[in-house]
A and B are shown apart, each in its own frame.
Chain A
C-alpha cells in the first residue's frame, strides 16, 4: 500500500514539477507570472492526444509534435502579447500579466471550439506496459515521467549555470537595461526563455495524458493553479525549488488521501504551503535577490 501510494505521489509530483518549471523560468527572467502557461500545457496535451489516437504515431512523435506546437505558441505569445508592452514608459508593470490572462482565456475558448468540452481518451499501448516489483505493480510510464522531469530539471540547471546563453539569461533577469547595455540581445533571450518554458508545458501535457489517460480543455486551469502554488512554495524563479515543491505537493496530496481523508486533499497541501511561507517568505529555495526589494 505505502509503496504504491508513494509511486502515485511521485508521478503526480513529477508532473507538477514540470508544469512549475515552465512558470519559474518565465518568472525568473521577466518577473511576471505567465498565466497562459496552463492553457499552453493543455494544448500540448491535445496535440499529443491527436497524434497518438488519430494519426496512430508513436509517443516520440507525439512529444515532438506537442513540443513544436507549444514552442510556436510560446513564440507568438512573446511576440504579440508581451513584447509590445515591454519598455513602454509609464506602463503598469502588471500589464504583461493581464495580457497573459487574456491569452489564457482566448486559448481556453479556442480549445473548447476545436476539441469540445468533456474528457478525451489519451490511449497509448505504451501506457499499458507494467512490471511487478514484489507485490507492487509499477507502470513504465511512471518511471519515464520521473526520469523526464529529473532530466529536464538537470538540463535546465546546467544550461542556466554553465552556458553562455544561460549566463545571458541570468544577466537579463537581474537587470534588463544593464544587460542590454552589456551587449546581451535581451529580446532574443526573452523569446528563447518563453519558447523553452512553453515547450516544457507541451512535454508536461503529454505526460499528463500518459499518466491519467484523459485530458480536457479545463485541465490547464487546474494544473496551472497547482503550478503557481508550487513556484511560490519552492521559491520564485528557482529551478530546484520548482522540482522539490512539485514533488512535495504531489506526495502530500497523495498521502493525505491514503492515510487521512480525501476531503482534505487540497486543504492540507495548501496549508503546508502557507506554513512554509510564514517561516521562509521567499519560499523553500528562494533567495532574497537584490531585485526583490523593488
Chain B
C-alpha cells in the first residue's frame, strides 16, 4: 500500500483508530462523558478525513476496497449520522444501567462496518463489513439491561440475521464455483462469458440478493423488523434504520452494477415485485399500529420499497445514472430524516421515564406542552411523508422522475398509492400531537437536555435545507456519478 492508498482509506483508519483509543480509555478510566466526547470527535474526524480522500480520486486499495467519491460521500454521511447518534444517546445512556461506555465503542465499530460496506468492491469485504456492522448492532440492541424486550429483539435479530448471512455465503460459494472470482468487476466479466439463463448462477445471485434483502427488511423478509425496532433503544433503532439500511442498499447497488447482475432479468423483476409488496404491505401494516416505533418500522419497510424501484429503472442503460443519482439522494434524505425522527422519540421516551414504547396517546397534546419538540417532530414526519419543502419530498420526486424515465408504470402506481396511505398515518401522529391539553393527561415535563435539543434543531435545519435548496447536492451527485 502506497501513501496515496493510506490517504484514500483514511476514514476507515481513523474509525479503527478511534475504536482502539476508546477501548484503551475504557480499560483504564471509565467515564461516560469522556467516552462519548471521544467517540463523537473520532467520528467527526473520520467524516472530515473524507475530504482529502475524495481529492485523491478513485483509488482501488488492495482488491477489497474501491474508494470512490460516492463511497466516501456515504462514509462521511455514516460517520456524521453515528456522531449524531452518540450525542442523542448520551443522556439516554446515563440513565440506562451500569457500564454504558462500551455502547459508544460498539457504535464506532458498527460505523466502521457500514463504511467498509459503502466502499466494498469484493465479496470478502462485503461479508466482513456486513458482519462487523451486524455483530456490533446485536450487542447495541440488547444493551439496556433492565428489561427483557431489548434482549428478545436482539436474539431475534441475531438468529434471523445469522440465517441471512448463511444464505449470502451460500450464494457467494455458488458464484465463486462458477466464476473463480470474488472481486465485483472480475466477477461481472466472468459472468458475461457464461450463459445468462444458467439456473445455478441465477440461484446463487438470488441467494445473495435474498440475504441482503433480509438485512434491508424487504417484504417478504420483513417479519423481524417491528419487534427489533420496538425493542431496541430508540437511538439505536434510528441508527439501524438509517445507516444499517443505507449501507446495505449501497453495496447491493454496487454489486448489481459492477458485477452486472442486471443481465439476470428475472432477478431484477423480482426486485420490482418485492418493491411493490414492500410499498403496499409496509404502508398498510403501518396503518394498524398505535406504537410509534412500530409504525416507523413499517414505514421504513415502505421506504426501502420506494428505493428498490431504482433497480427496475436501472435495467435500461440510459436511465441508469439518473436512477443511481435518485437512490443516492433518497438515501441521504432518508438517513437525515430517520435519525431525526428517532432522536426526537428519544426525547419523548426520556419524558416517559425510560419507557421504550411511545404510544400514540403519549404524544397527545405535545404541541401545547413542548412546542419546539412537537414542531421538530412535525418536520420529520412531513419529510417521511414526502411533503414539499422537506428533504423527503425531493427524494421521492427524484425516485418518481426516475421511474417515469424508465416507464415503470406499475411501480409508479404502487409508489403513489403507498405515499397516499403514508400521509394518513404520519398525519395521525400530528393530529394526536395537536389535541387540546384538556383531552389528555399531560406527561410530566422534563428537560431532554440542551444538547439533544440543539442536535435535533441542526438535523431539522438540514432536512429543510435539503428540501428547499437541493441543487448543490444534486449537482455534486451528478458530477461524481
A and B assemble together = no
Give B residues with C-beta under 8 Å from A. Answer: none
